Structure formats: structure tokens, C-alpha cells
């Protein structure tokens, strides 16, 4: 059996910031290349929000002193999630809307799982991650509506 990944609080937040950075870059690129008047401002907004998410997590990492008190955080498979994100972004057989739906689904699940792992050690961080999970659900649903409307 493979050894489960183990993270400190700081490492967990660092990996979540990496995810946000990947999405920020993806959405910025999509905003620049899409010709859709409907999608361009959405992708630009998503990119800006991902930057805000990174900033909030950086602040949380700096201000939360739980490193020594926490048992290692396990069961998140963050490297697998990062690999999935990279794979989806690189896919050539999916359009921007489809990619966004899948990416936001991955992020929703990741934030929800991470929130439940850190809530007892840092209620503020757990709440931030819960809100980010909800935002990913909202984005996914919005893009699903756009995808259905374009059929």
C-alpha cells in the first residue's frame, strides 16, 4: 500500500496557493484568447478572484500559528489534485467552459476536504476554505448554465 501524503499546515496552504496560481494563470490566458463577449469578463473576474484567494491564504499562513500543535494532515492527496489540474489545463479536446467546470469541481472537492481537516486547528482557515469551496460550486454551476445555453 502506498504511503499516504502528510502535510504540515504551512505545506497544505502552500500547495493550495499553487493550485490557485495555476487557475489564475489559466483564467487570465482564457480571458486573453477568448472571443466570447460573455466569457471574457468572467474569466478575467475568475483570474482576479484567484489572486485574491492566494493573498488571503498567504495572510492566513503568516498569521496562523498552529504548525507545532498539529498532527500531520493526511488524506488529501494534494499532488494528485495538482496533477489533475495540470492535465485538465493542458487538454486540447476540451473547450474553456468544459475545463472550467472540471477545474472548479476539483477545487470544490479539495477545499471542502481541506476545510474539514483544519477546522479544529484553525477555525478561521477552515471557514476560509469552506467559503472557497462554495465559490467553486457557484462558478461550476454558472459555467454549466453557459455550457447548456450554447448547445
Closest by Cα among 56, 59, 66, 57 to 119: 66
Helix (H, G, I), strand (E, B) or coil at 73: strand
Closest by Cα among 28, 126, 130, 10 to 78: 10
**C-alpha torsion angle, residues 105, 111, 112, 118 (rounded to 10):** 170
Domains for the chain: give ranges and CATH numbers. Answer: 6-149 (1.20.1260.10)
Helix (H, G, I), strand (E, B) or coil at 149: helix
**Grid cell digits, residue 143:** 459555467
Closest by Cα among 35, 37, 25 to 99: 25
Q: From CA 130, how far away is CA 136, in angstroms rounded?
A: 10
- Tens place of pLDDT for every residue, the chain, 151 residues? 345 788 888 888 999 999 999 999 999 999 999 999 999 999 999 999 999 999 999 998 888 765 545 567 888 888 899 999 999 999 999 999 999 999 999 999 999 999 999 888 788 899 999 999 999 999 999 999 988 887 5
CB 104 within 8 A of CB 84: no
Q: What is the pTM of this model?
A: 0.89
Amino acid at each position: 500500500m502506498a504511503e499516504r501524503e502528510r502535510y504540515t499546515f504551512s505545506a497544505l496552504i502552500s500547495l493550495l496557493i499553487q493550485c490557485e496560481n495555476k487557475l489564475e494563470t489559466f483564467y487570465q490566458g482564457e480571458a486573453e484568447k477568448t472571443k466570447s463577449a460573455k466569457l471574457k469578463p468572467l474569466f478575467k473576474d475568475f483570474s482576479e478572484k484567484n489572486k485574491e484567494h492566494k493573498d488571503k491564504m498567504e495572510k492566513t499562513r503568516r498569521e496562523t500559528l498552529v504548525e507545532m500543535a498539529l498532527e500531520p494532515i493526511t488524506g488529501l492527496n494534494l499532488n494528485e489534485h495538482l496533477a489533475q489540474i495540470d492535465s485538465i489545463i493542458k487538454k486540447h479536446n476540451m473547450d474553456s467552459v468544459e475545463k472550467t467546470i472540471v477545474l472548479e469541481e476539483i477545487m470544490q472537492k479539495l477545499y471542502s476536504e481541506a476545510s474539514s481537516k483544519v477546522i479544529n486547528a484553525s477555525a478561521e482557515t477552515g471557514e476560509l476554505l469552506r467559503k472557497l469551496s462554495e465559490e467553486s460550486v457557484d462558478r461550476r454551476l454558472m459555467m454549466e448554465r453557459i455550457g447548456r445555453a450554447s448547445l
